[in-house]
Chains A and B, each alone.
Chain A
Amino acid sequence: MRGGFRLVRTQAFRIVLIYVLLFAVSVTALLGFTYWITSRTVNGQADEIIQAEITGLSEQYQRLGWQGLYQSVNERSQQRGSQALYLLTDGEHRRLVGNLTFWPAARADAGNYVEFDYERRVNNGYETRHARGQILRLEGDNFYLLVAEDIQDRYVTQSLFTTTLPWTVGLILLLGLVGGLLMSLNMLRRLDAINRTSGEIIAGDLTRRVPVTGSADEFDVLAENLNRMLDRIERLMKGLREVTDSVAHDLRTPLNRLRNRLEESLARLAAQGGNVGEIERAIVETDKLIATFNALLLIAETDAGASRSQMSLLELNEVAGDVAELYEPLAEEKGIALKLERGGEAQIEGNRSLVAQALANLVDNGIKYTPPGGKVTIKVTQGADGVALTVADTGPGIPAEDRPRVVERFVRLEASRNSPGTGLGLSLVAAVAHFHGTQLLLEDNHPGLKASLVFPRAGKVMPIRPVMTVTKSAAE
């Protein structure tokens, strides 16, 4: 499942997983160490007691002989509540005296200690218990003395320890994983909310805000900071919009009066039979001024992302077809072959008017700079990043070193200084590209210029890209 897979890939889950593993290892080591220390101490205590008993009884034997020993063993065996065990036997391990019934089946280990099981009488029957002790051979009289300590309780604790340890570690891992999943899920949910909001904002809805849960945790702090940032951006955008509006209004009003006056003078002069050539030229110049002003304003607005409200689903093949159809007669008149190469389904989310205008500018440039007999190709192609809209011509092209410069406003290369145009065509194309979250790519067409825009396919959130134009040098 994709969702589950995504959960496992989150940073929170990874951190939790590493932590749980580390924790499990530490717990195992700690418990192991505790076990080792405890068992050493308990064993040591038991061995000390046994040693003391043996020493005491040997002294008795040496001082008082067999009789004394028998007496002592008998007395000690009768003490109730003691964990000490005694058994004095003859050479054939037959019981003489002591609180053990049989000589246990056990072998002495290196330190002369033996461990064995024995039966002890309880209220209703017998129970098997574990003991540890030492055997003393009384050589002269051919007797055996077994002195032992009941270590059943420690033994049980020890085995309990060894059987529960893996379970404990397993449980820690399991709980840790479940906790990690829950934590990641929670984090993921909150990050998703932020991502969703960012996506909507990038798509143009600046009124969206990141939800704040009210828990005042670091996510809330982040959300509040993001929201404050968004408030500020929205205010700035609104301000920019107001500035372009008032610049537009304050410049268009006098331009309008100027043009009106010129038209009036033209009409008056024409009625009087005067020479209207001067005034006609002035009107043409005014119109050029207006065209430049409109183009600048459009670039500024597009750069500011002001017309997000007019985004719609576009089929690039259709846009390309329409523009090709618009320019085909012009190309034919200039003796240039205008070709259209449609690609597969190419739906993008965009502003039809802006995309069409950008493409028109590119085709217009292509036709303007390609000599008769040349070729201008409009192409829609599918790529890994999206759908590419390309205009390639067989004109003089743009030298690699000039390519980053030509998209700047009013930049016109020496070679084209005298052809008509505002010098804003490519700037607008670059602004339109930026508006759609993409870039204008200028390349060598060997010969000529290849200009392309790669649009993300519809349905994908537009990535945020820096405002820049990348150029590939022909030499590469």
Chain B
Amino acid sequence: MTQLREKKDRDTTFSKPLFRSPFYDFFAAQETEGHWYDWNGYKSPTILSDEELEYFSIRSTCSVFDITPLNKYRIVGSQAEEFLNKLTVRNVAKQNVATVKYTLWCDQEGFVIDDGTLFRISDNDFRLCSQEKHLPWLIDTSHGFDVEIIDESKHVCGISLQGPTAASILRLLGVNGIDNLKPFHLFQTKISNIPIMISRTGFTGDLGYEIFMKNNVADKFIERVWNAGTNHGLTAIGYNALNMARIEAGFIVANVDFISSDHAIRPNRCRRPDDLGLGWLVDLKKGFFNGKKAILNSKLEDSAAFKIYTLEIDGKEPAEGSVIYYNKKDEVGTVTSAIWSPMTKKSIALAQLKLGSSKSKMENLWVEIYSLKELQYHKLMKKVSIVKPPFINLARRSACPPSNC
């Protein structure tokens, strides 16, 4: 019996057998020209039908994306809050029940291990979602606290509904309270007797929701959602479309835009929250937490470290992987993520640059783009300007109640 189940859950067409999410059959059915990849051990779509149409469903109708491969840790116990205050840089005591916060955790050098979202389900019950696996770190950090860490990654599945019509689809499904759900809030409810946890969160900078449930109700749930979305342009999407949206929103991804200190082999690749532009998350006034001393000390140093910047680039060429120069001559960093943004109609990028404190350097930055055109590279030197994130700011993202469309 176990063997049979193994076969069904895993995909053997890959050299390494991959897990299939409970939503796999649904997404596979939407595939017309599919590309798949290995996300955290799951067979996940990069593209299902058409990358651009998938992207535009996020911005103009509604997209459905499988977030099951995320690591999901349940943190329960009378000292769950104290534990999370040691683990993460934000002050969890200030996080109200039924809210979600974006957060970071660091090692003893104050280097970022990973970022993630923390759901406060009740006073002593949390869910932490992250890109990388962290069970040993969480368990070792929990020593001395009355808290239980449960890896529910394989038992809980989730989808993300992102786009202007997301709220309308949920209304059609009879989700009461969707009108009052503010960004970064959550509640538990039922859709046709299927228990779900729904939060107004996402990775797109758009109106959107993330919905978690037990694996065994996944089939029933996705069928209801799909039917409800028929007249609202609901489109199943793969990672590429989501990636475009998240770059526009200015969100960073561990091991893409920065190297997790867990993974870094070269010591100078590790980054502190300030370097990621996320220093505002760190609450130095709260009690002890992992990395506090090092973060405090680093503030005293004259930092010449690489920092993440959001960039606009002249022209239309996306600058992925390109090198950035000061004065067209001195190398100052690398682009980590870049697209031509359909919303801003500009070439935008996230990059790690080592600029020090000199303001003048920021005015004279150039990116060298190698653009392949019919078997010949055109070497372009384009002007770069540092802008404040996010690249887009949509009113519907935070409108409450969300409009009915």
Decide if A and B are genuine partners. no
